[in-house]
Amino acid sequence: MTDNFKSGTIGPQEIVSGDCLPCDEENEILSLRPGRLSEYIGQGEIVETLKIAIEAATKRLEPIDHVLFHGPPGLGKTTLAHIIANEMGGKLTTTSGPALEKGGDLIGMLTHLEEGDILFIDEIHRTPKSVEELLYPAMEDFAIDFVFDKGIHARSHRYRLNRFTIVGATTRAGLLSSPLRDRFGIFRNLDFYDERELVQISIRSANLLNIQMKKAAAEELSKRSRGTPRIVNRLLKRVRDYAQVRADGVITFDTVEAALSLEGVDSKGLTKLDRKYLRTIIDFYHGGPVGIEAVAATLQEESDTLVDVVEPFLLKTGLLVRTSSGRKASEAAFRHLGLKIDRQKTLF
């Protein structure tokens, strides 16, 4: 075990330590993220799994098993990768599946990892196949196999790596190949947070930002944050602006309502895009069922965005139903949008 394993010092350019954060992300939002498991609110079973795995690995003086997190954006996959690095005292290197275009991109990172370091691969399902194949021996045997020549002259040379941990994150676990999926010892789904947890997160964030917020305001903000901590924190900042400019600086129920209606966020937390998505199914396809590609074409949006960002919360809240013949807007969706359910028109 090197000193680095414990010290979390900063190394080459793309390497960030657990508490040194990528510069493309807003510092204030990042400072709202918990840095330790003890500060983490929600995802109780995942936190307990990680506490046990980290304590056991630390006792054995080994890195923790490779970890795969899947679930919709904003639920804490990246935060947990930072926390694992902090708790293990290793450096965190971050990359993403699409950024790993060539084998050399990955080899460069792997060969710079020291004992106990963490390699975080976001959107791991988008890693090119040729790069993914390099990951198999790296994850299983901490080695890279270099192959020279072809056919009967083929020779291979095994390059040993320091023992490290991969933390993978994906919004689409179903798109991961099984050889890759099977190499993760810990595989956890992050679910939406309940309102009580979001209230706790918003109060913690308001304290960190040094702003006063009433309990009813925290409850309303949480109700409208689509079960997602990243959205709570983003909306909290818009509400703070509103309270400071249009009120006396204290966040009340009324300031939350006024600020969020300006943001286009409705009483259930749906955004303009969510409502446009549901209206498209209702207005153009008689409520469904309709295929995602048809909805995406009508909306002129990427179908991946709809599947990853828009649909999970609508499915969770029962406003959208997925059937074998396509997507359908539920009766609750008609009611929420203030529309009459015309049974003659709807195809279901």
Residues tagged active-site = 77-78, 122, 171, 230
The number of beta carbons lying within 10 Å of the beta carbon of residue 325 is: 12
What would the two tokens of residue 221 be?
A: 């903000």
Rounded to a whole number of angstroms, the minimum distance from the CB of residue 87 to ligand ADE is: 15
Burial class of residue 149, CB neighbours in 10 A (0-12, 13-18, 19+): exposed
Residues in CB range of 196: below 8 A, 6 or more apart: none
With respect to ligand ADE, which residue has the nearer C-beta, 201 or 329? 201
Question: Quick one: which H or E segment has residue 329?
Answer: strand 326-329
Q: Could you say whether residue 42 binds ligand ADE (CB under 6 A)?
A: yes
Asked if 37 and 83 touch (Cβ cutoff 8 Å), the reply is yes
User: CA torsion 172→174→180→185, rounded to 10°?
Assistant: 80
Rounded to a whole number of angstroms, the minimum distance from the CB of residue 197 to ligand ADE is: 7
Q: Segment contacting ligand ADE (CB under 6 A): 18-26, 28-36, 93-101, 116-124? A: 28-36
With respect to ligand ADE, which residue has the nearer C-beta, 237 or 276? 237
Q: Could you say whether residue 70 binds ligand ADE (CB under 6 A)?
A: no
With respect to ligand ADE, which residue has the nearer C-beta, 222 or 330? 222
Question: Quick one: which H or E segment has residue 188?
Answer: strand 186-189
Q: Could you say whether residue 40 binds ligand ADE (CB under 6 A)?
A: yes
With respect to ligand ADE, which residue has the nearer C-beta, 39 or 293? 39
What would the two tokens of residue 150 be?
A: 């072809």
Tell me which of 76, 168, 227, 289 binds ligand ADE, using CB under 6 A. 76
CA 144 from chain centre, in angstroms, equals 29
Report the site for ligand ADE in 318-337 (rule: CB under 6 A). Answer: none
Q: Write the DSSP assignment of 140-171 as a string of letters.
A: HHSEEEEEES-GGG-EEEEEE----EEEEEES
Q: Could you say whether residue 204 binds ligand ADE (CB under 6 A)?
A: yes
Q: How many CA atoms lie within 13 A of 291 on its CB side?
A: 3
Q: Segment contacting ligand ADE (CB under 6 A): 38-46, 105-113, 129-137, 156-164? A: 38-46
How would you list the strands of the sheet with 91-96, edge to edge?
Answer: 15-17, 91-96, 118-122, 165-170, 67-70, 186-189
Rounded to a whole number of angstroms, the minimum distance from the CB of residue 192 to ligand ADE is: 12
Rounded to a whole number of angstroms, the minimum distance from the CB of residue 71 to ligand ADE is: 13
What would the two tokens of residue 311 be?
A: 């649909």
Number of residues that bind ligand ADE (CB under 6 A): 13
Q: Could you say whether residue 192 binds ligand ADE (CB under 6 A)?
A: no
Q: Could you say whether residue 50 binds ligand ADE (CB under 6 A)?
A: no
Q: Could you say whether residue 188 binds ligand ADE (CB under 6 A)?
A: no
Q: Could you say whether residue 41 binds ligand ADE (CB under 6 A)?
A: yes
Binding region for ligand ADE (CB under 6 A): 32-34, 39-42, 76, 79, 201, 204, 229, 233
